[in-house]
Amino acid sequence: MKLKSILLFLLAISLFLFGNREFWEKYIKSKEDEKEAKLLLMANKDVEKRFEIQELKYDSVSKKWSNPNFYFQVINVGKINFKALKKNKTTIETDTDENASDSQ
């Protein structure tokens, strides 16, 4: 008798869970929303890492904006031809038998 009641109880729970379509739709939607929120949070963390915020202070006497923090300014110089900057090597030919050219 005990086994029969346990089996009926398990059958009732399985029918409740698997037979209720709205429950599964709500459950899947809530999991998708949690996953989307987690991905959005991770994406926002990556964006925050790329930007640095600095405060500028205005000097009313000299009427200039100043940055009290140390900073580096990136300068884009465009394309550089490194081969043109390379110094040419000069070779000196002598008229000795070992170093003479064959063009004469």
pLDDT digits (tens, 9 = 90+) for 44-55: 887 777 777 778
pTM above the 0.85 mark?
no
Q: pLDDT of 91-100, one tens digit each?
A: 776 667 666 5
Spatial separation of the C-alpha atoms in residues 57 and 68, rounded to whole Å: 7
Q: Residue 18: is its pLDDT beyond 90?
A: no
Return d(Cα 89, Cα 98) in angstroms, integer: 20
> What was the pLDDT predicted at 32?
96
Residue pair 40/32 in contact by the 8 Å Cβ criterion: no
- How many helices and strands (H and E) does the chain possess? 3, 2
Q: In whole angstroms, give the CA distance from residue 57 to residue 54.
A: 10
Question: What percent of the chain has a predicted confidence (pLDDT) above 70?
Answer: 88
Mean pLDDT of 75-91: 77
CA distance 67 to 64: 10
pLDDT value of residue 103: 59
* Calpha distance 104→100 (Å, rounded): 9
- The ranges assigned to domains in the chain are 2-85
Report the pLDDT value the prediction gives residue 24, as an integer from 0 to 100: 79
